[in-house]
Structure 1
Amino acid sequence: MSTAASGFSHLLRLSDDTGLFEHARYALVRREHGYCTDDVARGLVVVTREPRPAHRLTRLAECYLTFLTHAQDRSGAFRNRLSFDRRWSDQPGVGDWWGRAMWGLGTAAARNSAPWIRNEARLAFTLGAEQRSPHPRAMAFAGLGAAEVLRAIPDSTAAASLLTDAARAIGAPAESPSWPWPQPQLTYANAALAEVLIAAGELSDDGQQLAAGLRMLSWLCDVQTRDGRLSVVPAAGWRMDAPRSRYDQQPIEVAALADACATAARVTGDQVWQEKVRRSVAWFQGVNDADALMWDQATGGGYDGLTEHGPNLNQGAESTIALISTMQYARRLP
C-alpha cells in the first residue's frame, strides 16, 4: 500500500489556519464553498486517531478544535457553515453537524496525545452533551463521541447519558430477518447506527443490546457485499422492498463500515470482523464494482464517489477523510 493512501498530504492541502475546506475540483480547493463543521469534526477524528502524530498533525488538531469551539454557542449547539471571508451563514443547531462535532470532540477528549487539546475538547464536549437532536443519525454520531469519552473516562455521566439516549434514538432492530433494521430505509453512514448499539452494549454490559448491534451490522455487511467485494448502498439510499441502484457509491459508507467492523472485532475478538474491515480497505484499492482505484496516487486525495462511469475525480474533504480513516485500520490489520 502506498504511503500516499495512508497519509495526510491532501488533508493538509485542503486545510488553512481557519479550518478545512469542504470541496475541491480535482485536487484544488474551491474556496467559494467555504468550511463546514461536519468536515472539520471528521478531520479532528482522524488526526486524533494517530498514536504518534507528527507536529503538523498536532497543529492541525489545534486548528480543527479551535474551529469547533468557535462554532459552538453557549447552549452547546453548533453552527455549520463558515464562508471563506469568515462569516457564519447559519444559526446554531443540532443537525448532523452537532453530532459529528460531538464525535470529534469526544475522540479528541479521549485520545489526543496533547493534554491541552484533550482538556479543551472535554470542556466543549460536556457543553455539547447538554443538547439532544431529533435526528437519529445526529444522535448516532454524538453517541460515537460519547463512547470514546466513556472508554477513557468511565465516570463521565454526561457521556453515559448521551450514549444511552443515542442508542434509544436509533431503536432496536426489526424482527424481520430480511430487513433487521430499525428504519425502513438505508441512507448514509448506515453502519454508524449499528456501531452505537455495539458500543452501548459493550460499555453498559448489556448483552442484548450488543447482540442487536452485531446482528444489524452483520446484515448490513451481507447486503453490501456482492461476489466477495463491497458494493455499498448508493447516495440515493435504498428503501425496504424497493429496487436498489448500484451507483453513486460514497466513500463515507465504506469508512463507516470499516469503523463499525473494527469496533465489533475489538469487542468480540472474532477475526471475521477484521476480514470485513479488509473489504473496506480493498474497496479503495480497486476491489469494487468498477475495478477502480478510489484515490489519487499523486495527491493522496480520496475520490468523491464511484459512478457507473468510474470515479468522480474531485477530491473533497469528506471522501479524503473516509480514505484516511479506512487506511488507518489497514496499517493495524495483522
Structure 2
Amino acid sequence: MKISYIATYPTRECGIGTFTNNLFKSMLAHNLKNEHVLEGFVIAINDNDVSYKYPEEVKVTIRQEHQEDYLKAVKYINLSGADVCILQHEFGIFGGQSGVYILPLLHRLEIPLIVTLHTILKTPSYNEKAILKEICKMAHKIVVMSHKAVEFLVSVYDVPKKKIALIEHGVPDIHFSPEKSKKDFKLEKKKVLLTFGFIGRSKGIETVIKALPEVVQKFPNLIYIVLGKTHPNVLRHSGEEYRIFLLRLVKNLQLENHVIFLNEFIDEQDLFKYLYACDIYITPYLNEAQITSGTLSYAVGVGAAVLSTPYWHAAELLAKGRGRLFNFNDSTELAKTLNELLDKPEELSKLKNKAGEYGKKITWPQIGERYVALVENIMKDEHSVALQKETEPDLLILPPFSLAHINRLTDDTGIIQHAKFGIPNLKEGYCLDDNSRALLMVLMAYRQKKDMRALELSPIFLSYIHYMQNTNGTFRNFLSFNRNFLDKIGSEDSFGRTIWALGYLLGNAPNDAYYQTGKLVFFNASPNFEKLKSIRGIANTMIGISYYLKSNPSDDSMTERLRNLSNVLIKHYRENQTPDWNWFESLLAYDNGILPLALLHSAEILNDDKITQIAITTMNFLTSHTLKDNYLSIIGNEKWYKKEGERSVFAQQPIDAMSMVLMYHQAYSVTNDKDYLNKLYTSFLWFLGENDLRMSLYDFETKGCCDGFESYGVNRNQGAESSLAYLISHLTVLQAYEEFHRSDLKLV
C-alpha cells in the first residue's frame, strides 16, 4: 500500500514539517496485517520561493503562492499509484487567501483523503470557515489531537462526529538521563526552566521573565533557557522586534545571568536532551486559542514537570495531575508556583511521574500504528473511493430563494451598483446594466414564485431604465448617488441588456401599466438595433427581441431584425472559425455563453437549422474549454484566452456562470436533450463551490453573491451584478426542472 503525504517537510524549519517526518517514519515502520509493506512519498510545501535540499522521499515540491504547482502535484499523486493521501493542514502553509490554494488540489484527488488539523479556530473569519468546511467535506477522515478540537469541528464547522478521529500529537521515543543531560550542558548545579519553539508575541515569554526576580531571590542558581528561533512569518514582517524587547526586559530586571536565549532550530536529539535537563518546562501563551501544541506534547511526553497558561490544549493535556496551570499574563501567580515547586522536590516528582505515564501512550511508534489502522479501515470500506462530485441534480441543496440582499442594495432610485462586502457602496452610485438585470430578475421571480416583494421592486428598476433613456432611444448608463448623470451614452452591452429585460417584460408583464411603459421604451430604442457593433450588445439585444416575439409572433419587421442581427453573429463566426477554433472571436473573453445563447433563442424563433447548428457548435466549443472534470471553470478576465495562447484562470466572474446556466437552459428548450439539464446544474454549482477554488461565492449570511475570485481567493464584495447573476441562475434552475417534470420525461 502506498501513501502520499502533503505538508511542509525537513529540511524546512517548521513544526508541521517535523510532525510529518515523524509520522512518515512511524507509519512506514509498520507492516500491514496482510504483510504488505507500506510505501510512501511526500509532496513538500516551500515558502516564498525558497528551495530546500529534501530527503529522497520528497518527490514533488509546491511553491506556496504558485497555484499551478498544486495542480501539477495532484496529477502526480493520481498517477503515482498511491492509495491514500494524508494532508497536514495549517492555514499559514498554503497559498492564497487563508490557504485557499489547497482546495483545487484536494478537489482533483482521485483517492481517499485523511486530513490532520493542526489549527481549528473557534471564531474563524468567513474565508477560514468556508475553506475548512470544504476540506472537511472532501476528507474521508479528519484527525484532531484534542477533545476541544472535536467539539469545535462539530459545533462551529458542522462536521459529523463519526468523521472525526482523535489521535494525540506524537512524541519521539527518545530517552536521556536527566543527570547526564544536565552535566553535558554544564547545568548540573542549576535549577533549569525551559521554553522552546518558534518565538513570537503570542508566546508570552515576558510573563516568565517578569516572574523571575522573585524566584531568583530564593533560588539564585536558577537559569531560564528560551530555546528557539523567531517565527519566520514574524521575522518577515517585524524582524527581531520581539526578541529585542525581551532582551531589554531582561536587562532592565537585571536578569542577564539568569536568562539565556538560544536562537536556534535544533534537531530532536538535542531538543530532548534539553527537555530531560530542565527541572520545569513552561508554556506561557497569552490566550486560550491554541488547539494543539507540539511543544507541550513533547514536554509531557518526556515526563517533564510542566507549567502552562490554560490555553485549550494545555487545559486538557495537563489535567489529572499531569501539570499545573497559571492564569494568562499573571507573573505573580507564576512566581508563587515556581517557588512552591522548586521548594518541594516531591511535588515536582509527582508531576513528572504523571506526565511520564501519559507520555508512554503517545510515542510516535504508537501514534503511527493508529494512523496505519485508520488507513486500513478506510481501505477496507468498500465505499472508500475518492468522494465523487455529484452532478445529478438535487434541488434540495439550493439555498432558499431570498431577495434580502437586493432589498439592501435598492433605494427609491434603483439598485446600487457596488457593495463593500455586504453593505451598499453609495459612492459608486447606479448603473443601467444592473437595473436592467434587476428588472429581469424580479420579473422572473414574480412569474415563477409570485413573490410580492419582487412585484414591488419592479417599477423601481423600470423607472430607472425610463429615466436613463435619451431622446434618440439610446441610454445613459451611470448615475451618481445624488442623481447626476455621469455619461451621455452608455456601452452597447448595457443597451443590449436593457433590451433583453424589456423584451422579457413585454412577454411576461405582471400588469398592463408595466407593459405599456416597457413597450414605449423598447420601441423608442428599436431604431438603434441595427447600429450595434459589439457582438455582446447584439447578442443581448437578440435575446430581448426573441422574448418579445414569443408573445408577438406576427411582428414581421422585428422578426427580420432578429434575422439580420443573427447574421451578424454568424458572419463573425465564419471569419474567426478554424478547424480547432469554433468561435466568434479570436479569443474567449467575458460573458462568453451569451453568444451561443443568443443564437439558440434566435433559432427557436426563426426555426433556422443553420443558426441552430452554429449555436450548438459554438456551445460545444465553449463547453470543451470550461466544463470538464465535473465542474465549471470559467475563462478568467485577468488575461482571457487568446487563440493559441494560454487561458486565464483568475478573475472569474458570476455573469459568466449565469450565461452558461442560461445557455444550457435554452439548449434544453430547443433540443429537449436532458443532458443539458445536468450541464445547467453543474454550471449553477459554480456559485456554491464547484469551481477552481472550491469556494462558495454565495454568502449564506447576507444572501448575496461575492464578486468572483482572484488568485488570492474570493472577492468578498457583493455588488449588484454578482448577486443578480446568482439569483437569475437560481430561478433558471427552478424553471428548468419545472419544465422538465411537466414534460413527463425522466432523468437517468
TM beyond 0.5: yes
Indicate yes or no: 2:737 matched with 1:302. Answer: no
Distance in 1 (CA, whole Å) between partners of 2:560 and 2:620 is 27
The CA deviation at 1:47 is 0.9
Q: 1:318 aligns with which of 721, 725, 728?
A: 721
Superposed counterparts of 1:45-64, under 5 Å: 45-50=440-445, 51=447, 52-64=449-461
Distance 1:64 1:259 in 2: 22
What does residue 486 of structure 2 align with?
89
* Residue of structure 2 in register with 1:186 after alignment: 588
**Counterpart position of 1:133:** 532
Report how many aligned residue pairs link the two structures: 334
Greater RCO, CA 8 A, separation 6+: 1
Question: Do the aligned partners of 1:265 and 1:274 also contact (CA within 8 Å) in 2?
Answer: yes
Deviation at 1:119, TM superposition (A): 2.1
Compute the RMSD of aligned alpha carbons.
1.7
Structure 1 match to 2:674: 271
Out of 2, 8, 11, the position equivalent to 2:406 is 11
- Whole-angstrom CA distance in 2 between matches of 1:162 and 1:235: 31
Q: Which moved more, 1:265-274 or 1:155-164?
A: 155-164
- The aligned residue for residue 625 of structure 2 is 223
Q: Give the whole-Å Cα distance in 2 for the aligned partners of 1:304 and 1:5.
A: 20
1:158 to partner: Cα distance: 5.1
* 1:47–1:53 Cα contact (<8 Å) kept: no
Residue number in structure 1 paired with 2:646 = 243
Aligned ranges 1:282-297 → 2 under 5 Å:
282-297=685-700
Cα shift at 1:307: 2.2
**TM-score normalized by structure 1?**
0.95
Contact 1:49 1:112 in 2 (8 A): no
CA 314–225 in structure 1, closer or farther in 2 if over 3 Å, else same: same
Match of 1:148 in 2: 547
Name the residue aligned to 1:211: 613
Q: Quick one: which of 430, 440, 448 aligns to 1:35?
A: 430
- Alpha-carbon deviation of 1:156? 2.7
Which structure features the higher share of strand residues? 2
Name the amino acid aligned to 1:116: A
Alignment partners' CA distance in 1, 2:543 and 2:731: 17
Rg larger in structure: 2
Give the CA deviation at 1:162: 3.6
Displacement of 1:139 in angstroms is 1.1
Asked if residue 122 in structure 1 is aligned to residue 519 in structure 2, the reply is yes
Q: Secondary structure at the match of 2:685?
A: helix
- Residues 94, 312 of structure 1: CA spacing in aligned structure 2 closer, same or farther, 3 A cutoff? closer
1:68 aligns with 2:465: yes
**Does the aligned pair in 2 maintain the 1:31–1:84 contact within 8 Å?**
yes
- 1:163 maps to 2:566: no
Which amino acid in the other structure matches residue 144 of structure 1? I
Using the alignment, how far apart are the partners of 2:652 and 2:398 within structure 1? 24
Q: How far apart, CA to CA, are the structure 1 residues paired with 2:623 and 2:429? A: 35
Distance (whole Å) between structure 2 residues aligned to residue 302 and residue 266 of structure 1 = 27
Preserved contact between residue 570 and residue 614 of structure 2 (Cα < 8 Å): no
Amino acid at match of 1:187: A
The separation in 1 between residues aligned to 2:597 and 2:685, in whole angstroms, is 21
Q: Deviations over 1:95-130 (max 9, x none)?
A: 211111111111111113222212211221111111
Normalised TM-score (structure 2): 0.43
Q: Is the 8 A contact 1:5 1:324 kept in 2?
A: no
Q: Gaps (5+ residues) in structure 2?
A: 1-395, 741-748
Partner of 1:199: 601
CA contact (8 A) 2:637 2:648 kept: no
Q: Identify the residue that residue 509 of structure 2 maps to in structure 1.
A: 112
For the 8 Å contact 1:5–1:297, the answer to whether it is kept is no
Q: Which segments of structure 1 move beyond 4 Å, counting only runs of 4 or more?
A: 1-5
Deviation at 1:10, TM superposition (A): 0.8
- Equivalent in 644, 653, 657 of residue 254 of structure 1: 657
Indicate the larger mover: 274-283 or 115-124.
115-124
Equivalent AA in structure 2 for residue 35 of structure 1: Y
Q: 1:291 to 1:4 in 2, by over 3 A?
A: same
Aligned residue for 2:714, secondary structure, equals strand
Alignment partners' CA distance in 2, 1:4 and 1:197: 31
Q: CA deviation at 1:74?
A: 2.0
Q: 1:94 to 1:307 in 2, by over 3 A?
A: closer
Distance 1:37 1:283 in 2: 26
Distance change >3 Å, CA 94–CA 318, structure 1 → 2: closer
Aligned to 1:100: 497
Q: Residues 436 and 501 of structure 2 are in contact (CA less than 8 Å); yes or no, is this contact kept in structure 1?
A: yes
Alpha-carbon distance change, 94 to 169 in structure 1, aligned in 2, over 3 angstroms: farther
- Once residues 3 and 112 of structure 1 are traced to their aligned partners in structure 2, the CA distance between those partners, rounded to angstroms, is 27
Structure 1: gaps spanning 5 or more residues: none
1:298-321: CA deviations, max 9, x gaps? 111011012233211110011001
**Identity percentage over the alignment?**
27
Q: Would you say the 8 A contact 2:582–2:618 is kept in 1? A: yes
| Corresponding residue SS for 2:656 | helix
Shift of 1:164: 2.2
- Aligned residue for 1:303, secondary structure, equals coil
Deviation at 1:330, TM superposition (A): 2.5
1:61 match: secondary structure: helix
